[in-house]
Amino acid sequence: MLVLQVLTVKQPEPATKVLPTADTNYSTFRCSEARQWLHDHAATALFGACELQKKKHQKLTAAVALNVLRSLLVVGIFRQVTGSISKPLEDTRTLLRFHEDERRQRLLNCRALWHSQARDPLVVVSELLQKLLDLVQRRGALSLKESEEFVHFAEAAGELQMVDTSKLTRIDLLVFFVNTYNLMALHFHITQGTHGKVLKPDKHAFTHDMRYMIAGFEYSLAEIEERLLCRFLRSKYHFDDNGSRAPEPRIHFAVSMCCKSSPPIRVFRPESLDNDLQVAGEQYLRQKMPQQLVGKSSEKTVQGTPKQEVVLPRIFKYAEHDFGHSAQELLAYYASFLPEKQMYELLYVARDNVFSIKHDKFDWQIDVHQACIGADASKIGSFRGGALGQVISEAQLKGMGEQSFIERKAAGNSKSLILVLRQL
């Protein structure tokens, strides 16, 4: 009960002195004042209004206040600004600041210290994401920030501080971090009121400075993306080695920055991951598919005849090496998500290998509403199976006929999660 009463206080009392700093936009306070503030609340929580008991047990109260202050620093609710790195609580020069007053590296899920045992991490993140999606659809992105429901959500997000991810399988981890990525992006846009603004100028700050505390560690969107796509680990492989590819390229159709050209947000689950990733890819790529897939290019062949020009979504430019090692492989991968007519049209273009690729423009305008309501699996046809995260090789493309391709697709189902099961 003591911890509960102490930690539900979100802001220091007005009596807490705010010290002037070089930047007046940032409020700091002395560590000694924070200890005294916590001491007063601990004494009230333990002994109520009994002044005699408060005086009698000052050492106990001081020890409780010190432990709580240390916990608040560890989890990131307080941030150290100045003072000793090794012993900040003993240094009289130590200045602290609430993490909510930080411009950089803000911990969005640390409004309060989570003081209970956390549930299964997959349950926690899926419930939080589904709750936030429902709130946006019901209240709207701009008005949600000031609502009491959003305050409750922000406090509930603190449960991720204490989750245990050590027992999750590789597929479970994939699902957990995909859902966490989308949750963090959505949480940030609502907190900052960025709906309708352009993300590109602030993309680095968005992916690197905004953070969540997860299982005792701080994660940015960039770090989660590295965990999902393993770019650093893949760099040790030769470019044309399968090991240099993303463990699961369809992740690009699952994570969203909430821009107009980003995929819509959906809640992924381990038991249906393969199907859900395929549906997400089909929905996203079919919605972005131009009316005319193949046209004439300004480039010419050696014989002087115009090449065919294929227009692809910009996402294939930003992460082109994740989808294949050649233009043919990339085009065949894209084709596997399209309706049958367009699929065969692109496969024959890839087989002939006389084409150039053009990418459409990426719309960086933030549209939280579109990101939350854009995922409707009912609009996608029945799940075909198909490429399932794999890439058709150039050797397979040569001389490929319609019947052999259908047979290959039918035989590919049993290997659908090979790339997913690589070490994250």
pLDDT at res. 105: 53
Place of tokens 């130590």: 94
Who contacts 131 (Cβ-Cβ below 8 Å, separation ≥6)? 153, 156
pLDDT at res. 392: 39
3-27 as b/e: b if 16+ CB within 10 A: beebbeeeebeeeeeeeeeeeeeeb
Length of the chain: 424
Query: Which DSSP symbol is given to 379?
Result: G
Asked if 214 and 161 count as a contact pair (C-beta separation under 8 A), the reply is yes
Name the CA dihedral angle for 123, 249, 291, 303, rounded to a multiple of 10 degrees: 180
pLDDT at res. 269: 96
Query: Which DSSP symbol is given to 218?
Result: E
Name the strand (E) or helix (H) holding 412.
none
Name the CA dihedral angle for 134, 173, 111, 159, rounded to a multiple of 10 degrees: 90
Our measurement of the distance from residue 80's CA atom to the centroid of its chain's CA atoms, rounded to an integer in Å, reads: 26
- d(CA 385, CA 409) in angstroms, rounded, equals 7
Tally of CA atoms within 13 A in the half-sphere of 45 that contains its CB: 20
Name the strand (E) or helix (H) holding 102.
none
Asked if 225 and 254 count as a contact pair (C-beta separation under 8 A), the reply is no
Place of tokens 């053009």: 358
Specify the pTM: 0.72
How crowded is residue 228: how many other Cβ atoms within 10 Å of its Cβ? 22
What are the respective helix, strand and coil percentages of the chain, to the nearest 5? 50, 10, 40
Asked if 265 and 375 count as a contact pair (C-beta separation under 8 A), the reply is yes
Asked if 144 and 192 count as a contact pair (C-beta separation under 8 A), the reply is no
Which sign does the torsion angle of CA 123, 129, 132, 136 carry? negative
Q: Is 90 exposed, middle or buried (0-12, 13-18, 19+ CB in 10 A)?
A: exposed
- d(CA 229, CA 323) in angstroms, rounded, equals 12
The SS3 call for residue 196 is: coil
Tokens of 176: 């957990």
pLDDT at res. 89: 83
Asked if 110 and 213 count as a contact pair (C-beta separation under 8 A), the reply is yes
pLDDT at res. 404: 33
pLDDT at res. 120: 97
pLDDT values of the chain reduced to their tens digit, one per residue, 424 residues: 333 333 333 333 333 333 333 333 457 888 888 888 888 888 888 888 888 888 888 888 888 888 888 888 876 678 787 778 788 888 878 888 776 666 555 788 887 778 789 999 999 999 999 999 999 999 988 889 889 999 999 999 999 999 999 999 999 999 999 999 999 999 999 999 999 999 999 999 999 988 999 998 889 999 999 989 887 666 666 666 666 677 889 999 999 999 999 999 999 999 999 999 999 999 999 998 888 888 777 777 767 677 889 999 999 998 888 888 888 999 999 999 999 999 999 999 988 888 989 999 999 999 999 999 865 543 433 333 333 333 334 444 444 333 333 333 333 332 332 232 233 3
Who contacts 182 (Cβ-Cβ below 8 Å, separation ≥6)? 129, 254, 255, 256, 265
